[in-house]
């Protein structure tokens, strides 16, 4: 592989966008992705790193319109129905257990490990898939909204014990040009030798840097407002918590007490 310059690497990542509006066919249905493109991005996904050789993930490719519509409704993300390709990215520890059983071996009990390494494998494979798609001219969107309808998704996709949705992922030719979104200043993210809490001044500066990411229509950017909506008491993450715990228990992945 030909080495890239630092400037080329930065430019490649600056070209990344989270895109929710995709080019569709004239009737509004998804624009099909060429078979060789789909094959290439799935190949890239399977080349992702994995711990202990287990490849603890599965992709549920959403094909039938009624299934896409169902997942779009459950996640409250309408673009699942219009993207060229849409997937639900799952941690999957079921398959490794079945391999052991087929070989006449017993399966251990490790629900916390399953969540730790299963999510890691799922994210690495999904991000490989997305970056490969971007190399082919597509853009995509990670969708955490699977947590909005976990129980319904488990039923709709017939997900057995040991398999849990982490996120949905859509891909397509972009029909919008979102701005480049800011990121938290590096000194708050990259630590040397030990974790370092940022000072209040650094945190206030980070808010100023991040404010544009929270702009909505004619409302000025207010990152704290956005964080509050997700992470403060009564926010969406607190509301999602009991549903995730219930799904972990249902799928045999709960390591906590009752």
Tens-digit pLDDT profile for residues 194-212? 999 999 999 999 999 999 9
Q: According to the model, what pLDDT value does residue 70 have?
A: 98
Contacts of 229-237 with C-beta under 8 Å, sequence gap 24+, read none
With contact defined as beta carbons under 8 Å apart, do 65 and 139 qualify? no
Token code pair at residue 190: 């990259």
Query: Of 179, 170, 217, 216, which is closest to residue 24 (Cα–Cα)?
Result: 170
pLDDT: which is higher, 2 or 167: 167
Helix and strand tally (H, E) in the chain? 9, 4
With contact defined as beta carbons under 8 Å apart, do 169 and 89 qualify? yes
With contact defined as beta carbons under 8 Å apart, do 122 and 56 qualify? yes
Measured in degrees and rounded to the nearest 5, phi and psi for residue 184 equal -55, 140
The whole-angstrom separation of Cα 121 and Cα 162 is 14
The DSSP code sequence of 106-144 is: -----HHHHHHHHHHHHHHHHHHHHHHHHHTT-EEEEEG
| CA distances from residue 226 to 39, 81, 168, 231 in whole angstroms, order as listed | 38, 26, 21, 9
Query: Measured over all CA atoms, what is the biggest interatomic distance in the chain, rounded to whole angstroms?
Result: 63
Residue 219, Cα to own-chain centre: how many angstroms? Answer: 27
Query: Of 65, 248, 53, which is closest to residue 159 (Cα–Cα)?
Result: 248
Mean pLDDT, residues 149-158 taken together = 98
Instruction: Write out pLDDT tens, residues 9-64.
Output: 999 999 999 999 999 999 999 999 999 999 999 999 999 999 999 999 999 999 99
Contacts of 235-242 with C-beta under 8 Å, sequence gap 24+, read 240/147, 240/148
Q: To the nearest whole percent, how much of the chain has pLDDT over 70?
A: 100
Q: According to the model, what pLDDT value does residue 257 have?
A: 77
**Does the pLDDT of residue 163 top 80, yes or no?**
yes
Per-residue confidence band for 75, with pLDDT thresholds at 50, 70 and 90: very high
Token code pair at residue 197: 């809490």
**Does the pLDDT of residue 219 top 90, yes or no?**
no
Which H/E stretch holds residue 12? helix 6-14
Pick the CATH number of 6-180 from 3.40.50.720, 3.30.70.890, 3.30.1490.110, 3.40.109.10: 3.40.109.10
Q: According to the model, what pLDDT value does residue 216 have?
A: 81
């Amino acid at each position: 592989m030909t080495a890239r310059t630092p400037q080329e690497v930065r430019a490649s990542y600056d070209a990344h966008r989270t895109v929710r509006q995709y080019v569709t066919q004239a009737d509004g249905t998804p624009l099909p992705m060429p078979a060789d493109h789909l094959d290439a991005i799935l190949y890239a996904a399977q080349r992702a790193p994995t711990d202990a050789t287990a490849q603890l993930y599965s992709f549920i490719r959403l094909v039938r319109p009624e299934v896409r519509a169902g997942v779009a409704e459950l996640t409250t993300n309408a673009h699942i129905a219009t993207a060229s390709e849409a997937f639900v990215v799952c941690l999957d520890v079921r398959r490794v257990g079945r391999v052991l059983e087929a070989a006449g071996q017993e399966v251990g009990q490790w629900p916390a490990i399953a969540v730790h390494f299963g999510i890691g494998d799922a994210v690495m494979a999904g991000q490989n898939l997305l970056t490969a798609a971007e190399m082919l001219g597509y853009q995509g969107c990670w969708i955490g909204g699977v947590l909005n309808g976990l129980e319904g998704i488990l039923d709709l996709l017939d997900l057995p014990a040991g398999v849990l949705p982490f996120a949905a992922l859509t891909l397509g030719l972009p029909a919008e040009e979102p701005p480049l979104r800011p990121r938290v200043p590096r000194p708050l993210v990259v630590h040397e030798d030990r974790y370092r809490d940022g000072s209040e001044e650094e945190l206030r500066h980070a808010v100023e840097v991040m404010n544009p990411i929270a702009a909505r229509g004619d409302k000025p950017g207010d990152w704290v407002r956005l964080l509050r909506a997700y992470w403060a008491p009564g926010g969406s993450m607190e509301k999602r918590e009991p549903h995730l715990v219930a799904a972990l228990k249902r799928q045999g992945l709960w390591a906590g007490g009752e």
